[in-house]
Chain A
Amino acid sequence: MITGLAALAALAAADTYAVTAAGRFASVSLGLATASIVLLVLGLLLRLPSTIPWALLAAAAGYLVGIQGRDTVDGWAAVIGVALLLAAELASWSIDHDKRIRSERALVVRRAATLAVLAAVALFVNFMLLAAAAVTAAAGTVVAAVGVAAAVTAVAIVLRLVRT
């Protein structure tokens, strides 16, 4: 219940920003944001994990429609990306949760901590990428894509070393 509400809150925050920041396509953005919320609510209520990616896609599409026509890179995209990840993770947690299975408190704390660390690292990576790509939007896309690959690889190597 708590995780489901938190997932909805994260997605609603991302959608709110997308709608408020939207220019002339605000109505389209609003429609997509509403669709994303509805899909997520349906997924949580019916415990259908397959609806989560569609809700995220709708939210991302709403955001993309909203920023169309801008010449500069929107720095809030870093936060929006993390908000979408949090929405997805918390919704998965909510759907996975089975009240018949009692979880140890340490397990819940560890999962929350893992999520927090993941969000923090993702936020950091996003800020770095957007800063690197903020020279010009067109050239910055390729730089950002390469940067994502590099950052993800670096994080993966570090985690592997820590795990072993």
Chain B
Amino acid sequence: MIRHATPKLAAYAGLSAAGLLAALVVARPELVALTAPFLLALAAGLVLATPPRFDVDVTLDRQRVLEGDIVTTRVALTASGPVDRLDLYVRLPPGVELEQGDNPMALRLRSGEQRELEFDVRAARWGGHVLGPTYLRARDPLGLLVWERTQPIRPELRAYPREDVLRRVLRPAETQVLSGNEVARAKGEGIEFADIRPWAPGDSLRRVNWRASARHSALRSELWVNEAHPERNTDVILFVDSFAEARLDGRSTLDLAVRATAALADSYVGRRDRVGLIGFGGILRWLVPGTGIVQLYRIVDALLDTQIVLSYYWREIDVIPRRTLPPNALVIALSPLLDARSVGALLDLRARGIDLAVIDVSPVPFTRRPADGLDAIAHDVWTLRRGALRHRLQRAGVAVAEWQVSTPLQAVLEEVRSFRRYARHARV
């Protein structure tokens, strides 16, 4: 612990010395009487001041919570000597707020006393939060000396984003070879009826369509069998643009993008699809596609570390490993379309023939349009240029929908879905 003398110690020592000296010079015993209380306080304070001896431990009742959940923080104090006044403060990182209880607080510990303090914090924002360090300041009974210590215990709290429940997600243009919930365009073994064709050696008799065979038997005596679309899984890559964000009043486009990504990952994993992740920004990170609940946890854990990091490095899509972008995968990009590098990467993906859909997490609600003047015109021009950018992507055959903060994600997905259903394929 680091010991400091308070200004009071110096003041009392100075007053005592000056008073006694002045008393001897002017020969007035009253001055001694004025000085004596300060001298007494000084002596008593220094004698009573013993270095505080105590241990501190900070724990959380849960390490993993959902965004908005409340967690109880416990501070365990064990004193091996008396501590007359202890100021204690557990630093809370941005995104974690004090919900109930006291932090900081001042208390007294007797020798040998064990105390457990509790206060509730709320994970106001998703992400990996590290609480602490814990700052401790002890004082002697008369406040002449101060001991300060910083406790390096830093419990970690991982707050997962609250995700929307999606009834329907985007269907990739192509399916993969493993079984899943998506009806493939190809014909094979499955439940969904596709067509009928003449019987061929090797076809099971169970697949014979007797009604069609009877109808055709008048012309040619042959059997007809049913064909079906097989149910296959798909590969979906979630592309989160973390180059730039728009932030207002503690909310940002990145928050929306992360929540939407978590919701999409949950829905696709539930359909037994393989889901991968690309965090494209100042820090590039990726997860190769996988399936199952473990992959969902991997994705959400990776999302927690997503943050905006300033970088001047011009990244291209080449830096992403090939395994992360498997053939016939649907890439769903969540981007505010604020950074030219991510827009360039999206166009590059489309140029390579990758099935791409873009959800434009609109930064417009996170800005305040000036009332008038050049700033207002600039804001309007910027909004128009954003529209032109979306149009440019659409002309390249990319399904783009603007997502305003007030719109449910499902509605935006439906907009993208209808575009993909009715738009013609573009040659790029």
Please give the residue numbers on chain A whose beta carbons come within 8 Å of chain B beta carbons, in ascending order. 49-50, 52-53, 56-57, 60, 63-64, 67, 73-74, 77-78, 80-82, 84-85, 88-89, 92, 96, 100-104, 106-107, 110-111, 114, 118-119, 121-122, 125-126, 129-130, 133-134, 137-138, 140-145, 147-148, 151-153, 155-156, 159-160, 163
Contact = CB atoms under 8 A, between A and B. Distances in A.
A110 B108 contact: yes
Contacts of A110: 84, 108, 141
Interface string B11-48: 11011001110111011111111111111110110111
Contact of B38 (A85, A103, A138): A85
B104 to A, nearest CB: 5
15 contacts: A67-B28, A67-B30, A73-B29, A80-B30, A88-B12, A118-B40, A118-B41, A119-B37, A126-B37, A133-B32, A141-B32, A145-B24, A152-B36, A156-B47, A159-B48
A160 B37 contact: no
Contact of A151 (B28, B40, B41): B40
B75 to A, nearest CB: 14
Contact of A78 (B6, B33, B107): B33
B44 to A, nearest CB: 5
B190 interface: no
A78 B27 CA distance: 16
B106 A64 contact: no
Given A126-B33, A144-B23, A159-B48, A107 B85 contact: yes
Contacts of B373: none
A40 to B, nearest CB: 13
B8 A85 contact: no
Could you say which of B34, B106, B143 has the most chain A C-beta atoms within 10 Å of its C-beta?
B34
B41 A106 contact: no
A160 B108 CA distance: 19
A143 B32 CA distance: 10
B202 interface: no
Interface of B: 6-8, 11-12, 14-15, 18-20, 22-24, 26-41, 43-44, 46-48, 50, 84-85, 87, 89, 102, 104-108, 141-143
Contacts of A82: 37
Instruction: Report whether over half of chain A's contact residues are helix, strand or loop; otherwise say mixed.
Output: helix
B8 A49 contact: yes
Contact of A163 (B6, B41, B48, B107): B48
Given A107-B85, A145-B24, A126 B36 contact: yes
Contact of B33 (A92, A101, A144, A163): A144
A101 B29 contact: no
A155 B11 contact: no
B5 to A, nearest CB: 12
B246 to A, nearest CB: 32
Contacts of B47: 156, 159-160, 163
B209 to A, nearest CB: 80
A122 B36 contact: yes
A81 B20 CA distance: 13
Given A118-B37, A140-B29, 19 more contacts: A49-B7, A64-B28, A77-B33, A78-B33, A80-B30, A82-B37, A88-B8, A102-B102, A104-B108, A107-B106, A122-B37, A125-B37, A133-B32, A141-B23, A144-B29, A145-B23, A155-B44, A156-B44, A159-B47
Nearest to A117: B44
A130 to B, nearest CB: 6
Contacts of A63: 30, 34
Contacts of B20: 145, 148
Contact of B30 (A52, A64, A89): A64
Given A107-B106, A156-B43, A151 B36 contact: yes
A88 B29 CA distance: 21
A148 B32 contact: yes
A159 B37 contact: no
Nearest to A162: B48
Nearest to A154: B43
Contacts of B22: 64
Contacts of A118: 37, 40-41, 44, 142
B44 A50 contact: no
B30 A148 contact: no
Given A129-B29, A137-B29, A148-B39, A159 B7 contact: no
A60 B24 CA distance: 15
Given A101-B87, A118-B142, A148 B44 contact: no
A129 B33 contact: yes
B97 to A, nearest CB: 14
Contact of B19 (A60, A89, A119, A155): A60
Contacts of B23: 141, 144-145
